[in-house]
Amino acid sequence: MTSSPHTGFGIDFGGTGCKGAPVDLDKGAFAAERVRVKTPANSSPDIIAGLFADLVAQFPDSTCPIGVTVPGIVRNGVVSSAANIDKSWIGTDADALFTEALKRDVHVVNDADAAGLAEVRYGAARGQQGLVIVTTLGTGIGSALIYDGTLVPNSELGHLHLQGHGAAEKWAANSVRQAEDLSWKEWAHRLSVYYQTLEALFSPELFVVGGGISKESADFLPLLEIATPIVPATLRNQAGIIGAALYANR
């Protein structure tokens, strides 16, 4: 793979795995097979930086800027929250750390924001005007607010408090469904409460549901009691990598 202005490179930093691939930015698709490495138990910034350097070294022809997702708030390259990752990320200038470790121009973006950018450009919300809310249902709940194609970053709607239930992601994330062995119906009830709250606050045109569980959307999306159209993400677990590549080459 040779780098062209239309080829990016994205890395998705997840709780269980870190995945990277060159991305064809015209098509919004991987330009070569993705590489996946297990996220180590100690996921501190230095260890992850070393891991990413090894991952990127597997693509010696790639020279473009690199986008990296982080499951936390990112402002000007600095991570300022770490709900589901090592707390030592808080305050880390991840742009600077990765740029130094990878010897490449690196730009860090919140994981859900990356997925949102990808879905709006190439996926389920392509061409959608007005407000789109992309949510990722995984260990936590991530969110991206995109208005007429423009991202409002770091919305963190997984931490919204639902009356009587506390933080949404501690009650309605996919990890909670698994831990409490909820039926689709029971989980759909919790998701309905969550999405109804988002509807009342934001009046979006469309919800997009991402995260690994989106491939089973037929089991729970039809059970949701909400008025706003809601569709599964089409880029599935590729959205983070593709969105990160897009972000770094914007």
Contact residues: ligand BGC, CB under 6 A: 71-73, 81, 83-84, 110-112, 136, 138, 140, 142, 156, 158, 169
The distance of closest approach from Cβ of residue 62 to ligand BGC in the complex, given in angstroms and rounded to an integer, is: 26
The distance of closest approach from Cβ of residue 143 to ligand BGC in the complex, given in angstroms and rounded to an integer, is: 7
SS3 for 154-183, per residue? CCCHHHCEECCCEEHHHHHCHHHHHHCCCC
Helix (H, G, I), strand (E, B) or coil at 195: helix
Classify strands 35-38 and 17-24 as parallel, antiparallel or unpaired: antiparallel
The distance of closest approach from Cβ of residue 105 to ligand BGC in the complex, given in angstroms and rounded to an integer, is: 23
User: Residue 178 has which token pair?
Assistant: 């698994």
Q: Which residue number, 67 or 142, has a Cβ lying nearer to ligand BGC?
A: 142
Number of H helices, E strands in the chain: 8, 15
Q: Which residue number, 83 or 248, has a Cβ lying nearer to ligand BGC?
A: 83
The distance of closest approach from Cβ of residue 152 to ligand BGC in the complex, given in angstroms and rounded to an integer, is: 14
Q: Which residue number, 23 or 112, has a Cβ lying nearer to ligand BGC?
A: 112
Q: Which residue number, 1 or 162, has a Cβ lying nearer to ligand BGC?
A: 162
Non-local CB neighbours of 88 within 8 Å, separated by 6+ positions: 44, 45, 82
